[in-house]
């Protein structure tokens, strides 16, 4: 007998690992000290709190985590008070007003803590622990902004990381100006030949969404939906059924790239033959 056991896809495995790591986060007291444990993901040489990346970007966090690496952080608090930003990482459209919750607490006795920020405004500017303040600022650029808390001659810095969301542009025609930009996906694919061209020229993890229908007077009709099927497999399925039925498919499929795909000069030359036949979705670099 042969028994088959389904193995997790890389995305399912990553999701399972990340949820397990987030579940381990926490803090404990040892005498007058508080020990906090949490995880960060390093992406483009910058750290981001893993839990916040996942919570803020439920549909997009996979790319950031897969391209970066995760580290465990242990923080020992011995100076009587702590400041926490919620969230400490924000990805937003340029010009958006951000409201960040600031939690201030002490571990031995109530303390008067003063707050000041390098950008925006905070209300209240001081209080007796435990208290909560609201930090309001505008997302202008990719940057790190400091909040400074002071009490009993001790200063602490809490850092907010702001990233501007890259705009997604949909266009029917690639031009040389698009070289160097990020290809997010290709939509409105109407033929198996176009799907094959995409599968052959882009070697990156991807998934297809959409449907196709093939009808033959002699052999009948086949209709199917595609969900999270890679482009090579989808193209093979469609082409095989086209060959069997002796008819062309009517289809509307889009390919979404799970890996970062940068449009190089070579890739541009290959893809431009699909100009005005499909829709390209690009994420513009800053």
Encode pLDDT of 147-194 as tens digits. Answer: 999 987 888 899 898 888 777 889 999 999 999 888 989 999 999 999
Encode pLDDT of 233-285 as tens digits. Answer: 899 989 999 998 889 999 999 998 877 788 999 999 999 999 999 999 998 66
What is the predicted pLDDT for the residue at 58? 67
Close Cβ partners of 115 (under 8 Å, ≥ 6 residues apart): 83, 102, 104, 122, 124, 125, 126, 133, 147, 148, 149
Break the chain into its structural domains and give their ranges.
Answer: 9-78, 79-165, 168-283
Residue 109, CA distances (Å) to 36, 192, 241 in order: 19, 70, 74
Euclidean distance between CA atoms 89 and 68, whole angstroms: 16
| Listed range (79-88, 114-123, 147-156) with the worst mean pLDDT | 79-88
Euclidean distance between CA atoms 254 and 247, whole angstroms: 21
* Residue (of 161, 206, 165, 164) closest to 183 by Cα position: 206
Encode pLDDT of 47-67 as tens digits. Answer: 888 888 887 776 667 777 877
Angle (deg, nearest 10), helices 231-245 and 192-201: 150
What is the predicted pLDDT for the residue at 8? 67
Give domain 79-165's CATH superfamily. Immunoglobulins (2.60.40.10)
Euclidean distance between CA atoms 132 and 56, whole angstroms: 21
Q: Is the CA virtual torsion 65, 83, 77, 149 positive or negative?
A: positive
Tell me how crowded residue 122 is: count the other CB atoms within 10 A of its CB.
17
What is the predicted pLDDT for the residue at 3? 52
């Amino acid at each position: 007998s042969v028994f088959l056991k389904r193995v997790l896809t890389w995305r399912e495995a990553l999701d399972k690992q990340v949820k397990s790591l987030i579940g381990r986060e926490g803090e404990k007291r040892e005498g007058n000290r508080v020990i906090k444990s949490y995880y960060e993901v390093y992406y483009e040489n910058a750290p981001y709190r893993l839990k916040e990346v996942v919570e803020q970007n439920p549909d997009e966090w996979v790319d950031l985590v897969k391209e970066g690496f995760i580290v465990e952080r242990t923080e020992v608090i011995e100076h009587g008070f702590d400041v926490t930003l919620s969230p400490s990482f924000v990805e937003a459209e340029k010009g958006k007003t951000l409201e960040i919750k600031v939690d201030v607490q002490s571990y031995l006795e109530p303390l008067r803590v003063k707050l000041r920020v390098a950008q925006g405004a905070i209300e209240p500017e001081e209080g007796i622990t435990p208290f909560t303040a609201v930090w309001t600022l505008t997302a202008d650029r990719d940057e790190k902004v400091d909040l400074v808390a002071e009490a009993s001659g001790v200063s602490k810095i809490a850092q907010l990381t702001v990233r501007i969301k890259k705009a997604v542009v949909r266009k029917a025609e690639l031009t040389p100006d698009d070289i160097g930009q990020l290809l997010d996906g290709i939509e409105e694919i109407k033929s198996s030949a176009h799907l094959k061209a995409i599968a052959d020229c882009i070697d990156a993890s991807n998934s297809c969404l959409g449907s196709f229908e093939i009808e033959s007077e002699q052999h009948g009709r086949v209709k199917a939906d595609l969900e999270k099927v890679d482009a090579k497999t989808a193209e093979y399925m469609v082409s095989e059924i086209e060959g069997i039925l002796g008819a062309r498919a009517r289809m509307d499929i889009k390919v979404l790239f799970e890996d970062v795909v940068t449009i190089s000069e070579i890739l541009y030359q290959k893809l431009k033959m699909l100009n005005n036949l499909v829709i390209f979705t690009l994420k513009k670099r800053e």
